Amino acid sequence: MDLKTDPWYVHVGLYLVIAILTILLVKIAIIDPHDYVESEKYYKTESRLRMTNLKEAQMLWERKNGNYSGNLDALIEFIISDPYVDSVVNAFDSLIMKPANPFKALSNGEFVPDSLKWSPKSHSVYVLQIDTTVAIDTVINRRGKVTRVDTTINFGTRYFIEDLDGYGTIGSLDTDALKNTASWE
CA nearest to 117, candidates 157, 79, 63: 79
Give the span between the Cα atoms of 81 and 174, in whole angstroms. Answer: 31
Q: Other C-beta atoms within 10 Å of 50: how many?
A: 24
HEC string of 65-123 equals HCCCCCCHHHHHHHHHHCHHHHHHHCCEECCCCEECCCCCCCCCCCCCHHHHHECCCCC
Which pLDDT tens digit goes with each residue over 85-136?
Answer: 998 888 887 777 778 888 998 988 888 899 999 999 999 999 999 998 888 8
- Could you list the pLDDT tens digit for every one of the 185 residues in the chain? 556 777 888 888 999 999 999 998 888 888 778 788 889 999 999 999 999 999 999 999 999 999 999 899 999 999 999 999 998 888 887 777 778 888 998 988 888 899 999 999 999 999 999 998 888 888 888 888 988 888 888 888 899 999 999 999 999 998 888 888 999 98
pTM as predicted? 0.76
75 close to 61: Cβ distance less than 8 angstroms: yes
Alpha carbon distance 69, 64 (integer Å): 11
State residue 3's pLDDT score.
Answer: 63
- Residue 93: what pLDDT? 77
Please count the CA atoms within 13 angstroms of the CA of 76 that sit on its side-chain side: 16
Residue 178's CB: how many other CB atoms inside 10 A?
A: 16
